[in-house]
Amino acid sequence: MFAFLFGYLCGAIPFGLVLTRLAGTSDLRAIGSGNIGATNVLRTGRKDLAALTLLLDLLKGTIAVLTVAHFAPGTPMLAAALGAFLGHLFPVWIGFRGGKGVATFLGCLLAAAWPAGLAFAIVWLAVAFLTRYSSAAALAASALTPIVLAAMGQTGAAVTFGLMAILLWAKHRANIARLAAGTEPRIGKR
């Protein structure tokens, strides 16, 4: 329980919102998708803030998992990963309305099983390069993750990240509808 709670509190830090407020831009939740993640920060026109948001959202997952793994290796590490991911999706500090969790998902994955994290990053980059859709890249990479983890013999991680992938897809349901309709904004569009 402590591992999950620690992960949740790490994941609930809304870095995108904090950084854009400190920079004096408009309320991040009032533009684009209304989410607090790096893709929406990019829509403010601040590539530097988007990159920093991406890094910090990734690191909050990584730090949560590695910290718990240091003190209690094994299953508690996966509880911390799930907690960090849920914290980003549903942060208590801003009314449980968070981001879609892609960077935090990757950060947790890199800490829990870095080869699977590398596979995620490669798939994300390839799909993003080919389609210019951040959402399509995230959906493809997250769907592949449980398969890669299962192939690595990490059944517990495959189940945990499979659940996280389902939640990630659920958070992307509007994106999926726009992709199907051909109206999803491409990377770099405001």
Full residue range of the structural domain in which residue 158 is found: 2-181
Q: Is residue 189 part of a domain?
A: no
pLDDT of residue 188: 63
How do residues 107-127 score in pLDDT, each as one tens digit? 999 999 999 999 999 999 999
pLDDT of residue 189: 64
Supply the mean pLDDT for the chain. 93
Q: Is residue 187 part of a domain?
A: no
- Name the residue with higher pLDDT: 30 or 94: 94
How do residues 153-190 score in pLDDT, each as one tens digit? 999 999 999 999 999 999 999 999 999 999 998 876 65
Mean pLDDT in residue range 57-80: 94
* Domains identified in the chain, total number: 1
**Residue 45: is its pLDDT beyond 90?**
no
Q: Is residue 190 part of a domain?
A: no
pLDDT of residue 190: 52
pLDDT-derived band at 12 (thresholds 50, 70, 90) equals very high
Q: Is residue 161 part of a domain?
A: yes
Q: Is residue 174 part of a domain?
A: yes
- Name the residue with higher pLDDT: 45 or 178: 178
Q: Is residue 124 part of a domain?
A: yes
Is the C-alpha dihedral spanning 53, 57, 58, 60 positive or negative?
A: positive
User: Percent of the chain having pLDDT more than 90?
Assistant: 78
pLDDT of residue 25: 81
3-state secondary structure of 54: helix
Residue 106: exposure state from Cβ atoms within 10 A (0-12, 13-18, ≥19): buried
Q: Is residue 188 part of a domain?
A: no
pLDDT of residue 136: 97
For the ranges 33-42, 87-96, 106-115, 122-131, the lowest mean pLDDT is seen at 33-42
Give Cβ neighbours of residue 16 (< 8 Å, ≥ 6 apart).
Answer: 28, 35, 36, 37, 38, 40, 41, 49, 53, 57, 99
pLDDT-derived band at 147 (thresholds 50, 70, 90) equals very high
How far is the C-alpha of 96 from the C-alpha of 15, rounded, in Å?
Answer: 14
Residue 177: other Cβ atoms inside 10 A: 11
Residue 121: other Cβ atoms inside 10 A: 14
Give me the long-range contacts of 113-121 (CB less than 8 A, separation at least 24).
Answer: 113/149, 113/152, 113/154, 113/157, 115/148, 115/152, 116/145, 116/148, 116/149, 116/152, 116/154, 116/157, 116/161, 119/144, 119/145, 119/148, 120/144, 120/145, 120/148
Q: What single DSSP character describes residue 93?
A: G
